[in-house]
Amino acid sequence: MAFVYADCPPEFKALMNQIFSEDFMRENTRFSSFEGFRYSSAVFVNWNADKMIYDEAVFNNFVNESTRFSSWDEMVRTAADLRFKQADNQI
């Protein structure tokens, strides 16, 4: 097992909520919101902790089965790219 340890300060949580918009979640996952995704994945990740600790392979399997992404990393990168490219285009 390979565990991932990631700091999860309030700014990080706010960023997650920003990049995982309802439109993104509806278009790319089987969830209508990031809240629904967090609720369903709570068995893998404690989203309320100051440090996220999760088994990378297990969580990636959950992401692969419930989204169009093969991994959590791919999901985060895609959401951030889409969110901030849209912001750049509006300037």
How high is the pLDDT of residue 1? 74
How high is the pLDDT of residue 29? 98
Contacts of 40 (CB under 8 A, 6+ apart): 31, 62, 66
pLDDT averaged over 10-residue windows placed end to end, the chain, 91 residues: 92 95 98 97 93 95 98 97 78 51
How high is the pLDDT of residue 87? 60
How high is the pLDDT of residue 82? 95
How high is the pLDDT of residue 90? 61
User: What burial class does residue 36 get, using C-beta atoms within 10 Å of its C-beta: 0-12 exposed, 13-18 middle, 19+ buried?
Assistant: middle
pTM of the model: 0.89
